[in-house]
Structure 1
Amino acid sequence: MMSNKCQLCQSETTLKTYEVPPETSNNPDNSILICSKCLAQIDKKEELDSNHWRVLSETMWSEVPGVQVVSWRMLNRLKQESWAMENLDMMYLADEILAWAKATGDHENDGTVDLHKDANGNQLLTGDTVILTKSLDVKGSTLNAKMGTVVKNIKLVEENTEQIEGKIEGQVIVILTKYVRKQG
């Protein structure tokens, strides 16, 4: 029976069904109900918040295989924290569940997250407004984007955290994040 709480952190805010990779069949054991904060950190769209995951010391004992797999992966990402290492040492997974947990290689990850950041280290998000910190010559064009130019409603380049897209003088260009600062 599903409750209206995140199966990982017990939050009751904005819940989504999460298919635990690499399993994709419609087996209910492969799907768990999680909140947007857990999802963002699992998908590395947000910095890992150690305090958010402390509740794993309780939820890791769930009988739901998907919860066990994600708990084990997140504890591994947080293993530099003594509490997470202690929980990992106590946690037991059946062989087939452990193989599933290891299948993505995520447990070998150090927990660092690659985010789009401006020249000052502020996180950039789609829709943000940025200001150029350097005049830029646009390749394949006569356009010169002057320092101080405001670029509204940027888009993140998904595969490269060092690039964003923005429109300058009606032309969509790729801009390196090290040459912008977030406005506001």
Structure 2
Amino acid sequence: MKLEELLLKRSENKCELCQSGEALSVYEVPPQSKSNEDNCIMICEKCLSQIENKEELDSKHWTCLSGSMWSEVPGVQVVSWRLLNRLSNESWAMDNLDMMYLDEERLEWAKSAGLENGTAAEFHKDCNGSILQAGDSIVLIKSLDVKGSTLNAKMGTVVKNIRLVENNTDQIEGKIEGQVIVILTKYTRKQGA
């Protein structure tokens, strides 16, 4: 039996995350060297596009993780853990994450999201280690002089709708007094975290 047929049978022709029956495909949970029924899951197009950051995370959609996180399928557990971490600014996601248990091997797999060529996954994190996402609001924990400008960003300033600087997890971009500036993540705290 082909892998796709096995997964469709196991999932009863539904997305293993949100239970949708539309536009299903096999998702290989990275990183992996050989696809099998433990490290591949059947998911819908909506879940796939949000997992792969092609679409913004819709926290209402992901409340389904409250059920899927209890799946016995290793791949579903790992993806659920990763998504709950990405949604850590939501109290329900943090509550679920606190309840969730992964053995050491699966936790290591879950934390290795984006491992390519043996390099660890990198995330933009604030001063407390909370993962920052594009569109988040942050608070400055230190007054900052903006290079090449007379602007001084005061401690406590809220910066809304941040952008992540690609290829540099120590920097984000945000608008202060109408000016887009680069801010070091170590001087930020995620609002609400």
Is the TM value for this pair above 0.5? Answer: yes
Trace 1:41-60 onto structure 2 (pairs within 5 A).
Answer: 41-60=50-69
Distance 1:40 1:106, change over 3 A: farther
Residue 86 (structure 2) aligns with: 77
Residue 76 (structure 2) aligns with: 67
- RMSD of the alignment, in Å? 2.1
Q: Following TM superposition, where does structure 1 have runs of at least 4 consecutive aligned residues deviating by more than 6 angstroms? A: none
Separation in 1, partners of 2:68, 2:133: 20
TM-score of the two chains, using structure 2 as the length reference:
0.56
1:17-49 deviation digits (Å, cap 9, x = unpaired): 000000131221010000000000000000110
Aligned length: 115
Out of 6, 15, 18, the residue aligned to residue 9 of structure 1 is: 18
Once the 2 structures are TM-superposed, how far is the Cα of residue 111 of structure 1 from its aligned partner? 3.7
Distance 1:31 1:83, change over 3 A: same
Separation in 1, partners of 2:26, 2:35: 12
Which structure's CA Rg is the greater one?
Answer: 1
Are the counterparts in 2 of residues 48 and 112 from structure 1 also a CA contact under 8 Å? no
Long gaps (5+) in structure 2? 1-9, 114-120, 126-130, 136-165, 167-193
Over the matched positions of the two proteins, sequence identity in percent amounts to 61
Residue 100 (structure 2) aligns with: 91
Long gaps (5+) in structure 1? 114-158, 160-184
